[in-house]
Amino acid sequence: MAISDYEIQPLFAEPYLRADIGHAISDEQVKYIKSLKMVTNRDNLISENLYIFEEPELLSIKVAVQEALDLFASEVMGIKQKLYVTQSWALTNNPNVSMHGHSHSNSLISGSLYYCDMPSPVANMIFDRHKTYQQLEINPERDKQNIYNTPLNVLTPKKNALFLFSSGVQHFVETNSSNQLRHSIAFNTFIKGKLGSYRDVSELTL
Ligand SMILES: [Fe+2]
């Protein structure tokens, strides 16, 4: 007798937020970010200044990012506590440069902001379901791939797009196969407020 009555439901999910914050980014700010002193990272270039959202020139961007973080906290995480940006930095990937797989330590939610025109083709941001070495790689057949079993998922950057995602999720950036520079901003966040309960002696004020 074949089973005809069954269903598949999610137990948990890994969300990300995508927002357009073009209204908060001026041409002068684009010029300012592109003129920041860059130093060698592992393969790409990173701004020497690792707190760029503290610069008064970028205030409107910081405000828009905070608005998106407030949305993420209330609508995605469903919490009353506040997320705030810790470090923030600019990145440039030259042609033929990719960004190795990594996750962000000492951060809850991380973000990427594509503040200017992107190269064509744009190098995608790839998220990896697995955090650790996979001794067994049990991957679905292509035509059976879905949100429950895919090992990787792809976000395509676009000018003015802001992505927010869990800092612990591994991600990497494809090789820049264009002949243009690929610019972005990245940042980390932490949480402010009270966790736990005074009576349960689990209270923690951050
Ligand atoms: Fe990252």
What pLDDT is recorded for position 67? 98
Does residue 136 belong to any structural domain of this protein? yes
What is the tens place of the pLDDT at every residue in 156-205? Answer: 999 999 999 999 999 999 999 999 999 999 999 999 999 999 999 999 99
- The C-alpha atoms of residue 134 and residue 167 are separated, in whole angstroms, by 20
CA distance 169 to 16: 11
pLDDT for 131 equals 86
Q: Which residue has the tokens 């879905």?
A: 146
Q: pLDDT tens-digit profile of 94-120?
A: 999 999 999 999 999 999 999 999 999
Give phi and psi for 19, each to the nearest 5.
Answer: -140, 150
Instruction: Please state the rounded mean pLDDT for residues 5-19.
Output: 96
Question: Does residue 9 lie in a domain region?
Answer: no
Tokens (6 digits) for 89 = 């930095």
What average pLDDT does the chain have?
97
| Burial class of residue 72 (count of CB atoms within 10 Å of its CB; 0-12, 13-18, 19+) | buried
* Within-domain flag for 77: yes
167 C-alpha to center of ligand 1: Å?
A: 8
Ligand 1 midpoint to CA 10 (Å):
26
Predicted local confidence at residue 177, as pLDDT? 97
Asked if residue 37 is part of any domain, the answer here is: yes
Q: What range defines the domain where residue 189 resides?
A: 16-205
Q: Are 164 and 191 in contact (CB under 8 A)?
A: no
Residue 155 pLDDT greater than 90, yes or no? yes
Give me the DSSP letters along 118-131. PPSSPPPEEEES-S
| 8 Å CB contact between 89 and 107 | no
pLDDT at 190: 98
Domains contained in the chain, number? 1
- CATH code for the domain in which residue 72 is found: 2.60.120.620
Q: What is the pLDDT of residue 132?
A: 86
3 within some domain: no
What is the rounded average pLDDT of the residues 64-80? 98
Residue 23: pLDDT band (50, 70, 90) is very high
Which pLDDT score, from 0 to 100, does residue 184 have? Answer: 98
Q: Is residue 194 part of a domain?
A: yes
Q: Is residue 180 part of a domain?
A: yes
Write down the pLDDT at residue 159: 98
pLDDT above 90 (res 133)? no
Res 42 pLDDT > 90: no
pLDDT at position 200: 97
How many Å lie between the centroid of ligand 1 and the Cα of residue 176?
16
User: At which residue do the structure tokens 């470090």 appear?
Assistant: 87
Tell how far the Cα of 112 is from the centroid of ligand 1, in angstroms. 8
**H-run or E-run covering 112:** strand 109-113
Q: Is residue 195 part of a domain?
A: yes
User: Residue 101 Cα, ligand 1 centroid: separation in angstroms?
Assistant: 8
Kindly state the tokens that stand for 92. 């440039």
